[in-house]
Chains A and B, each alone.
Chain A
């Protein structure tokens, strides 16, 4: 049986007194492509900020590889985050560096590879995401889809066990979006990386998701968990059905 990579227990997300998620309980299994889905304003990105350590939880806790992350000391947190890659919505590439320098940065910081090995690793990661030869380009010189892929290459630099994706399809045309989905599946299947994807793109959800949670903006809780296809067959409530069918419940109501 595959082990749990991430476990959230009664996790509460809030900005000051404004509660975004009252309580979230779920676990992400090893080698899952785990989707965190929900409508706009449901707290998906805020949950991701908590899970990536950018924001402390307002209550509850979460475990990464069995370690209670909020209670861990800085050194432990750093060790955990070395095994985690993140692809930001806008790519999060450093604009003053070339793609190669962006990808080399975590390798220079956390590995003791000599410079020539780092250069080769950078080329490998770039090729892995279909950007071989673009190492000398600056982020401003490439398209949105390429920025995402370059961001993914950087996220994969240290061969992470978990990669978080924040709205990977946002701003991409359907073809680039499908390519990125395929790339994510390839990484998951071939590298055994656990992927946690925050998205509301239905096509991506059904194409890649092996497990998921649905964040409900009204109740501010998780109202559904499971494989997205199963949730579509047996939606637990109207909001989930509405989300997974692009608003069919609304359509019926307004007819």
Chain B
């Protein structure tokens, strides 16, 4: 005898359940039968059920939903007590229809809403940047609320604590630059110009770019994660409801600290890179130290040096603004903080490249 037997008697679908229903899967025909037009009532007889688990509950649940959907009757006879209670519990709360997503919108609608979203983001970003600079000017006038301790903490984090990693990475970059250059220059017997290559490369742009990338990954990410966590912990809500401007209190110390330290870190990176180049030139390419430093000094230009420092200064603003913007606008959960951190780093790097392009064109026009 089958566990689940059914037949249609006039307009009644009679279902008899016998024996054990453990990990049981129903014959789909029973659902088809329940959906047949002539069926006006479903009667389930459960007097011979022995053992059961959720698989039987699922069958009864599906049948109940078909009955509800088709507005036909469903009667159960002699179901075990527990099964009946579980079924009632499962049916007690109606499914929340409002969380079902609306139908897929068309291409133009999606394009339009994406465009609107981008527009809103741009406006929000511009507002944030103008508020931050507004706050900076208020600070200059001595009107902004910034805790000195927050500023000093940010200054320490962005400055002395970053010296080690900036020095190491810049030294390595100088080293790589010298190596790659030497391979090509050697073919012309001009390896002495490695000193010029490294000096010009590091001071003009590479020092600033390397510091930018390091600080975006280190400090920008840290800003976004800290402020994002403050958002999750309702600390930012608390500030807003107290009427304390978040730009003054949270962003200003970070922005000013990074804008101050970045030019110094760039100078540090320049010298570390030149030292890395010297290491390759003197130790590995057998150029005498005096000759190396002479060529390096000849290639040294204060214009390049200040252009590099200016880049570092601009990158400081970019990194701080990106980190803080994504931090204060982070989602209110762990995932949101992760997304904010990623976006802060990626957008910092993208904006630094864009800024480099713009500055290069402007300086080119100015003849610098």
Classify chain B's interface size: 20 to 34
User: In the complex the two chains form, is A254's CB within 8 Å of B88's CB?
Assistant: yes
Interface string of B81-103 (1 = CB under 8 A from A): 00001101100101000100000
- Stretch of B11-19, B237-245, B270-278 with 4 or more beta carbons under 8 angstroms from chain A: B237-245
A82 an interface residue at 8 Å Cβ cutoff?
yes
Residue of B nearest to A19 (CB): B98
Within 8 A of A (CB), among B148-164: 150, 153
B145 an interface residue at 8 Å Cβ cutoff?
yes
B233 an interface residue at 8 Å Cβ cutoff?
yes
- How far is B153's CA from A43's CA once the two chains are assembled, in angstroms? 39
Residue of A nearest to B242 (CB): A106
User: In the complex the two chains form, is B242's CB within 8 Å of A253's CB?
Assistant: no
- How far is B98's CA from A89's CA once the two chains are assembled, in angstroms? 27
B62 an interface residue at 8 Å Cβ cutoff?
no
User: In the complex the two chains form, is A95's CB within 8 Å of B233's CB?
Assistant: yes
User: In the complex the two chains form, is B244's CB within 8 Å of A92's CB?
Assistant: no
User: In the complex the two chains form, is A86's CB within 8 Å of B241's CB?
Assistant: yes
Partner of A84, one of B233, B234, B241: B241
Instruction: Count chain A residues whose beta carbon lies closer than 8 angstroms to a beta carbon of B.
Output: 29
- How far is B187's CA from A79's CA once the two chains are assembled, in angstroms? 76
User: In the complex the two chains form, is B243's CB within 8 Å of A92's CB?
Assistant: no
Q: A96-B150, A250-B92 are in contact. Are A105 and B242 (CB under 8 A)?
A: yes
- How far is B147's CA from A105's CA once the two chains are assembled, in angstroms? 10
User: In the complex the two chains form, is A92's CB within 8 Å of B88's CB?
Assistant: no
Partner of B237, one of A54, A84, A95, A154: A54
Binding site secondary structure of chain B: helix
- Chain B residues lying within 8 Å of A96, measured Cβ to Cβ, are 150, 153
- Chain A residues lying within 8 Å of B98, measured Cβ to Cβ, are 18
Q: A92-B238, A94-B238 are in contact. Are A105 and B233 (CB under 8 A)?
A: no
Q: How far is the CB of A6 from chain B (nearest CB, A)?
A: 15
A109 an interface residue at 8 Å Cβ cutoff?
yes
A232 an interface residue at 8 Å Cβ cutoff?
no
A233 an interface residue at 8 Å Cβ cutoff?
no
A88 an interface residue at 8 Å Cβ cutoff?
yes
- Chain A residues lying within 8 Å of B36, measured Cβ to Cβ, are none
User: In the complex the two chains form, is A90's CB within 8 Å of B234's CB?
Assistant: yes
User: In the complex the two chains form, is B237's CB within 8 Å of A88's CB?
Assistant: yes
Interface string of A10-30 (1 = CB under 8 A from B): 000000001000000000000
User: In the complex the two chains form, is B92's CB within 8 Å of A253's CB?
Assistant: yes
User: In the complex the two chains form, is A78's CB within 8 Å of B235's CB?
Assistant: no
- How far is B233's CA from A52's CA once the two chains are assembled, in angstroms? 17
Interface string of B304-329 (1 = CB under 8 A from A): 00000000000000000000000000
- How far is B242's CA from A109's CA once the two chains are assembled, in angstroms? 9
- How far is B233's CA from A91's CA once the two chains are assembled, in angstroms? 8
- How far is B85's CA from A18's CA once the two chains are assembled, in angstroms? 34
- Chain A residues lying within 8 Å of B243, measured Cβ to Cβ, are 77-78, 81-82, 109-110
Interface string of B211-254 (1 = CB under 8 A from A): 00000000000000000001001110110111110000000000
Chain A interface (Cβ < 8 Å from any Cβ of B): 18, 52-54, 77-78, 81-82, 84, 86, 88-96, 105-106, 109-110, 154, 218, 250, 253-255
Chain B interface (Cβ < 8 Å from any Cβ of A): 85-86, 88-89, 92, 94, 98, 145, 150, 153, 230, 233-235, 237-238, 240-244
| Pairs across A and B, CB under 8 Å, 28 listed | A18-B98, A52-B241, A53-B241, A54-B237, A81-B241, A86-B238, A88-B234, A88-B237, A90-B234, A92-B234, A92-B235, A93-B235, A94-B230, A95-B233, A95-B235, A96-B153, A105-B242, A105-B244, A109-B242, A109-B243, A109-B244, A218-B94, A250-B89, A250-B92, A253-B88, A254-B85, A254-B88, A254-B92
